[in-house]
Amino acid sequence: MADRTNPSSHTQQRPIYNSTTVPRSNTTTNHPLSSLLRQLLQSQSPNHSGQLFGFLAFFISGGILLLLTGITVTAFVLGFIAFLPLIIISSPIWIPLFLIVTGFLSLAGLILATGAVVSWLYRYFKGMHPLRSDQVDYARSRIHDTAAHVKDYAGGYFHGTLKDAAPGA
């Protein structure tokens, strides 16, 4: 018979109230995630509790998003399988329709881009200073300076007086 007055004879440990230690059970798990969570919970001091809750929120929201992604992919695959016969039967309609829509959207995009370029050039040459026109002016002045330097260097070369390519160097 077990002695009721001797606490060591009990097989289950009871928590001591108003204590900071939690009694450990006799069964230990070797799962990496459980050991990581145990290490995080035991090593964190009260000033890092926000970081711990952040990790927990990250894991919970990541799990929920992973579940929703799985449901979405499963629904897409099942819908594709269900509608595959209809897609195959109506493919003579879909392929030309796809080509017409693709051609129309490509042409519309090309016309829109051409209109934007022509509008920018018009405003630039009228002196209205469109967006990034200062960079174009800077590049134009750099090209002009380089061309003038090359012209001076080539003129000296053709006249027999060779100049230094990098004066002062």
Q: Which residue has the tokens 């440990």?
A: 13
69 Cα distance to chain centroid: 17
Instruction: Give the CA-trace dihedral at 53, 55, 60, 63, to 10 degrees.
Output: 180
Across the chain, which has 169 residues, the per-10-residue mean pLDDT values are: 50 56 56 73 64 88 96 97 93 92 97 96 92 92 92 72 57
Distance (Å, rounded) from C-alpha 130 to C-alpha 113? Answer: 16
Tell me, what's the pLDDT at 50? 75
Nearest to 97 by CA among 86, 105, 107, 108: 105
For 144, list phi and psi in degrees, rounded to 5: -65, -45
Tell me, what's the pLDDT at 31? 75
Tell me, what's the pLDDT at 110? 97
What's the pLDDT tens digit per position in 50-76? 788 888 899 999 999 999 999 999 999
Tell me, what's the pLDDT at 156? 66
Burial, 37: exposed, middle or buried (Cβ in 10 Å; 0-12, 13-18, 19+)? middle
Query: Helix count (H) and strand count (E) of the chain?
Result: 4, 0
Tell me, what's the pLDDT at 49? 72
| Whole-structure pTM value | 0.39
Tell me, what's the pLDDT at 70? 97
Tell me, what's the pLDDT at 44? 54
Sketch the domain layout of the chain as residue ranges: 51-153
Tell me, what's the pLDDT at 34? 75
Full DSSP string of 136-147:
HHHHHHHHHHHH
